[in-house]
Amino acid sequence: MQAFWRDTVEFLPILMSGVALTIIVTIGSLLLSTLLGLIWALMRVSGIGVVTGFSAGLINVIRGIPIIVLLFYLYFVMPEFGVTLTALQAAILGLGIAYSAYQAENFRAGIEAIDKGQIEAAQAIGMSWWQTMRRVVLPQAVKIVLPPYGNVMIMMLKDSSQASTITVAELALQGKLIASSTFKNTSVFTLVALMYLTMSIPLILLVRHFEKRAGQK
Amino acid sequence: MIELSNVHKSFGKVEVLKGITASVEKGEVVCIIGPSGSGKSTILRCINGLESYDSGDILVEGAKVDRNAASIVSIRTQVSMVFQRFNLFPHRTALENVIEGPVYVKKEPRAEALERGRALLARVGLAEKADVHPPQLSGGQQQRVAIARALAMQPKAILFDEPTSALDPELVGDVLSVMRKLADDGMTMVVVTHEMAFAKDVADRVLFIDGGVIVEQGPAKSVLNQPQHARTQDFLRRVLHPL
């Protein structure tokens, strides 16, 4: 135990630099996946055949490709087409795209849960499709969507570790580097696990808060 | 002001409107009665383009109703709708519900819309409920807010789709008396209803619809007191004397 504390004091500063990147990757890809997911979801419920079909197809393609392959593609293959991204850019883009499919399905479920009467009432006062979405449907859908959205946040925090496969020196990769140079696997990976857990706990509490609020209504 | 000529409408293989021809004059109150599934609500929903129709013509002040044309917005701002299940926006207060259309569709200045909205809520007897959200209101209060919301558009006509059918019996009167006041003020109204007493007292004309056709129509008192057609007689007997 004493050895563990000594290792903690020694490795924590290095691991903390990894934490910073983990947070940057998570927040960056969360924002991107939310934006893209919302676009796919709105296309999906647009009622325009071609647009709906395109969105449904795209979501399936994204869902069918492992995140790690998507990351490799962006980081190793895109340069051959003249698009060179930094590891961090590729990580945020890859995770953002990968998760946009799940966000889209979540948002769509929320939108479709809104009573049809709401949409008719909005149309009956002359609102356009976009006004109906923005003023009537989305504000009500948010409440339904938030609990699963919180779960996606937790999953993204953990899946940000996949960025390590394309050399982003986030928490998991920092851990691996320390472990392979010191052979203190137990201390290092226990520490890494505890740090992920510590970052997850506020998110878990947030999900619980969302669920309570959704339950009240 | 509203004219329907030979309107047909099918849902899949079921033809719900089989050639409806009718007109509503300015300032007139027309009640549409008939059994469930006869197409009453569908007629209303076609008039403001919530449903499309397959053939025939619907004109509002001479403009053809086409739910896919840009002109539908202008028709909807002229012909408001009150729904059976109120369909108020639950995330907005009563007052916000009322000003939603004027501010965001008709681009009225907010201060003006607020002032008018408060006056409208007072007119339906709910001045003190302006800042309450719909789920905290009774059904009758919600429906009166919905009527205020319809009035806020300053429409030329209002369509009522069974406005009291979802209400507890003791709340029906409040809504009907608001509607009667509107009629007295000269509002053009088309009301799908099962409230025969209201139809008799307030309506200028009654249309009896069954099986997607207008079986009988005429001045309210004559259709309701001396129905000519056997189906109308049968329907009225069942509604007025259910035992």
Grade residue A148 by pLDDT with cuts at 50, 70 and 90. very high
Residue of B nearest to A124 (CA): B76
Task: Test B80 with A118 for CB contact under 8 angstroms.
Answer: no
Residues in B touching A118 (Cβ below 8 Å): 87, 89
Give the mean model confidence (pLDDT) for residues A19-35.
96
Residue whose token pair is 């608001």: B178
Q: Are B79 and B47 in contact (CB under 8 A)?
A: yes
Supply the angle between the helices A2-44 and A49-64 in degrees, to the nearest 10. Answer: 160
Grade residue A47 by pLDDT with cuts at 50, 70 and 90. confident
Model confidence pLDDT, tens digit, residues A192-217:
999 999 999 999 998 888 888 877 65
Residues of B with CB under 8 A from a CB of A: 48-50, 73-74, 76-77, 80-81, 83, 85, 87-91, 100-101, 104-106, 149, 153
Distance CA B28, CA B235 (A): 24
Q: What is the dihedral of CA A142, B68, B214, B187, to 10 degrees?
A: 70
CA angle (B45, B47, B49) in 5-degree steps: 65
Of B137, B68, B146, B65, which is closest to residue B100 (Cα–Cα)? B146
The reported pLDDT for the residue numbered B205 is 94
For chain A, the average pLDDT equals 92
Alpha-helix residue ranges (DSSP H) falling in B48-152 = 72-78, 94-104, 110-123, 139-152
Which is higher by pLDDT, A95 or A1? A95
Residue of B nearest to A140 (CA): B91
Residues in B touching A141 (Cβ below 8 Å): none
Task: Test B76 with A125 for CB contact under 8 angstroms.
Answer: yes
Residue pairs spanning A and B at CB distance below 8 A: 54
Q: Read off the amino acid at residue B46.
A: C
Candidates B48, B89, B103, B151: best to mutate against A (most CBs of A within 10 A) is: B89
The reported pLDDT for the residue numbered A217 is 52
Residues in B touching A136 (Cβ below 8 Å): 89
Instruction: Choose among B76, B91, B149: nearest Cβ to A123.
Output: B76
Q: A114 in contact with B at a CB cutoff of 8 Å?
A: no
DSSP for residue B131: T
Give the mean model confidence (pLDDT) for residues A152-167.
94
Q: A131 in contact with B at a CB cutoff of 8 Å?
A: yes
Task: Test A125 with B153 for CB contact under 8 angstroms.
Answer: yes
Q: How far is A115 from chain B (nearest CA, A)?
A: 9
Q: How far is A45 from chain B (nearest CA, A)?
A: 17
Assess whether pLDDT exceeds 80 at residue A51: yes
Assess whether pLDDT exceeds 80 at residue A150: yes
Q: What are phi and psi of B120, to 5 degrees?
A: -65, -40
- The residue ranges of chain B whose pLDDT is under 50 are none
The reported pLDDT for the residue numbered A8 is 86
Q: Read off the amino acid at residue B104.
A: Y
Assess whether pLDDT exceeds 80 at residue A1: no
The reported pLDDT for the residue numbered B61 is 92
**The pTM is what?**
0.86
Task: Test A140 with B104 for CB contact under 8 angstroms.
Answer: no
This complex has an ipTM of 0.91
Task: Test A118 with B89 for CB contact under 8 angstroms.
Answer: yes
Model confidence pLDDT, tens digit, residues A56-71:
999 999 999 999 999 9
Backbone CA torsion sign across B174, B180, B235, B9: negative
Whole-number Cα distances in Å, A159 to A122, A170, A199, B78: 40, 11, 13, 54
Q: What is the dihedral of CA A18, A20, A26, A30, to 10 degrees?
A: -170
**Which two three-digit tokens encode residue B182?**
């509107």
Q: A214 in contact with B at a CB cutoff of 8 Å?
A: no
